[in-house]
Amino acid sequence: MLDRPDGEVTAWLRRTSLNLAFNRARDVGRWHARAARAELPQPADPAAEAVRSDERAGVRAVLDQLPEKQSSCLLLRHAGYSYAEIAATLDIAPGSVGTTLARAERAFKDHYLQAHPRHDQGEDNDSDDLS
């Protein structure tokens, strides 16, 4: 690097500084988004809280059925972590995160629908019949 012209070194330093600044700004934004999600107000309605509690228990039960890498990948991604952060945390190649995430989402959906069949299928839906 020392044998390069000053212009190239300056351009490289500028680009590196910009990349670091953009990365820092993005990380701060993600931190604020995570903090905002963590501070969501709890519903005052006990019935709504009971439903949310049941839904959380159902999600946890389905996550427990998935392979550990898949469930961890889903949890990290939905917590707002980037693919690079997930790869570093799970010690997998960054290029594998998307594939792992897609498989995890598909497996989660299959397990969830199997455990919680939709009640709206097969029910009479009078709102569609306007005649």
In a domain, 65, yes or no: yes
Return the CATH number at 96: 1.10.10.10
Count the domains in the chain.
2
- Containing structural domain, residue 67: 50-117
In a domain, 88, yes or no: yes
pLDDT value of residue 26: 82
Q: Sign of dihedral through CA atoms 37, 41, 46, 48? A: negative
In a domain, 125, yes or no: no
pLDDT value of residue 106: 95
Give the pTM.
Answer: 0.54
pLDDT value of residue 128: 44
Q: What percent of the chain has pLDDT over 90?
A: 27
Residue-wise burial string across 72-100, b where 16 or more C-beta atoms lie within 10 A, e elsewhere: bbbebbeeebbbebbbeebeeeeeebeeb
In a domain, 123, yes or no: no
In a domain, 129, yes or no: no
How far is Cα 98 from Cα 92, in angstroms, rounded to an integer?
11
pLDDT value of residue 9: 78
How far is Cα 15 from Cα 71, in angstroms, rounded to an integer?
37
Contacts of residue 42, Cβ cutoff 8 Å, sequence gap at least 6 = 49
| Same domain (yes/no): 30, 58 | no
Percentages helix, strand, coil for the chain, rounded to the nearest 5? 75, 0, 25
Residue ranges, the chain, pLDDT below 70:
1-4, 40-44, 119-131
